[in-house]
Amino acid sequence: MSPAITTLIVLGFVALLFVTEAIPLAVTAVSGAIVLGLLGIIPVGTVFNGLANSTVVLFAGMFVIGGALFHTGLAQLIGESVVRMFGKSENGLLIGTMLIAALLSSVTSNTGTTAALMPVVLGISAAANIPASRQLMPMAFAAGLGGIMTLVGTPPNIIAAGALKSAGFRPFGFFEFAWIGVPLTIAGIIYILFIGKHLMPKRQLSADQEIKQEVEVTSRDPVKMVIAGLILLAVVIVMALDLKALPLEVAAILGAMLCVLTGCVREKEAYRSIDWVTIFLFAGMMPIATAMDKSGAGKLVADGVVGILGGDPSPLLITAVLFALSCGLTQFMSNTASTALLAPIGISIAKGINASPFAVLMAIAVAASCAFATPVGTPPNTLVLGPGGYHFIDYVKAGTGLVIVSFIVSLIVIPVVWPFFP
């Protein structure tokens, strides 16, 4: 049996266990990586390399900073202020939360945006007496949509632009993605308000979270509130500037260390604030994503789907199929890897029918950012999994509709802005 087929079989079992939650999600992810290592699909010594991944380190750092915001009482204070501004209606808070997340993620990392806003949204939810599970997933979705708006908002956009340049075409401009990113964000917010929110659970905080909040609410210290707020602001600014000398994960860890050193959060509270399920879930999926790429499993799926198109497909059909393929792969595979895999295929197909490759490449990049149907498709989804008390099926229920909305909007807007035969 080829490594690609073996990888797809393992991925199928992992997906089944994710949906049924017969065993804990983190255990499923790590077990999948171990099995692939033992089968020789990936080097067995790299099975736990995901724990050293920069995104995992970023998660840990931002969890601690978030804990500091709660421990000092700043998150609750911000939450009360936002509630006074938008009122206590669920829709008003949803609109405010999603707009802020989308705008921030358009110019900075959507992972960083989600990590930075999560403690604030938890505070808002507590102040408005609304279950956090009704706010965190929409925030993560909005961060994913907002990242589509600019060249630097998400890695797939940069990869698509680079693929065009390498093939001899002009690359996408910095704000060119806004032509599709803005309509998608608006459509996404409308979908969440009228449909998506009804598909999300209404889960209250767990007993452990309630105890943690009681401990943290009692320690409102104006000076430490200011310090914690300045640390968070500094980290967000560094993330927005995207400094090569100071990567996101380094900024997050430095911020976490400052929170402990300044007394904004005690050492034990810092450890408690890290959601270890999120850490091991994401770390376990990294080797599986690598296996999809290196074993040829992703390419096998891509080639199979493209083969179904036949000899002379229409450009719109090509765009629709590649969107669906990119979106399907990105639910379990890195959006960066999905785009890198499909971009050259899209360009080749477009050239074969003498069509402009811009619409096809834009569809592939946008679809790679539509990883809404699973908690492992994109870091923002994984980040809110624990704090929101979500199950795998919750993402399937609420996220699938958003994927369909994104698909429809993209097929309407993309061919208009980037014609197949200009």
User: Per the domain annotation, does 348 fall within a domain?
Assistant: no
How would you write the pLDDT of the chain (422 residues) with one tens digit per residue?
889 899 889 888 887 887 677 888 788 888 988 999 999 998 998 888 888 877 778 778 877 887 887 788 887 677 677 767 877 788 988 998 898 889 878 866 677 778 778 888 888 888 788 888 899 999 999 999 998 998 767 878 888 888 888 788 898 887 899 999 999 999 999 999 999 999 998 876 543 443 344 464 446 788 999 998 899 888 878 877 767 788 878 888 999 999 999 999 888 888 888 878 767 877 787 787 778 778 888 778 767 766 777 666 788 998 999 999 899 988 877 777 778 778 877 887 788 778 899 999 999 999 999 999 999 888 899 889 888 889 999 999 999 999 999 999 999 999 999 999 88
- Report the C-alpha gap between 286 and 33 in whole angstroms: 8
Q: Return all residues near 327 (Cβ < 8 A) that are at least 6 apart.
A: 367, 368, 370, 371, 403, 406, 407
Rounded Cα distance between 47 and 37, Å, is: 6
Q: Tell me what pLDDT residue 311 has.
A: 61
Would you state the structure tokens that stand for residue 115, as one six-digit string?
């990590």
The beta-strand segments (E) located in 45-203 are none
> What values do phi and psi take at 248, rounded to 5?
-55, -45
DSSP of 40-58: TSS-GGGTTGGGG-HHHHH
**What are 391-396's contacts with CB under 8 Å, separation 24+?**
391/21, 391/201, 392/18, 392/19, 392/21, 392/25, 393/19, 393/21, 394/133, 394/137, 394/200, 394/201, 395/137, 396/19
Q: How many Å apart are CA 107 and CA 278, to the nearest integer?
A: 25
What is the reported pLDDT for 212?
43
Residue at 268 is within a domain: yes
Domain count, the chain: 1
The answer to the question of residue 189 being in a domain is yes
Q: Where are the alpha helices (DSSP H) in 262-355?
A: 267-273, 276-294, 297-308, 315-330, 335-352
pLDDT of residue 127: 79
The region that residue 296 occupies, defined by phi over 0 for left and psi between -120 and 50 for alpha, beta otherwise, is: left
360-375 burial, b for 16+ CB within 10 Å, e for fewer?
bbbbbbbbbbbbbbbb
- Domain span at residue 225 reads 52-132+184-277
Q: How many CB atoms lie within 10 A of CB 38?
A: 11
- 121: in domain: yes
Q: What is the pLDDT of residue 209?
A: 46
176 is a domain residue: no
| CB-based contact 114:384 (threshold 8 Å) | yes
Asked if 405 and 380 touch (Cβ cutoff 8 Å), the reply is: no
237 within some domain: yes
**Chain segment 113-128, per-residue pLDDT in tens:** 787 788 888 888 887 8
CB 155 within 8 A of CB 332: no
In a domain, 64, yes or no: yes
Number of Cβ within a 10 Å radius of residue 419: 13
On whether the CB atoms of residues 409 and 183 are closer than 8 A, the answer is yes
Distance CA 400, CA 383 (A): 19
CA distance 362 to 234: 33
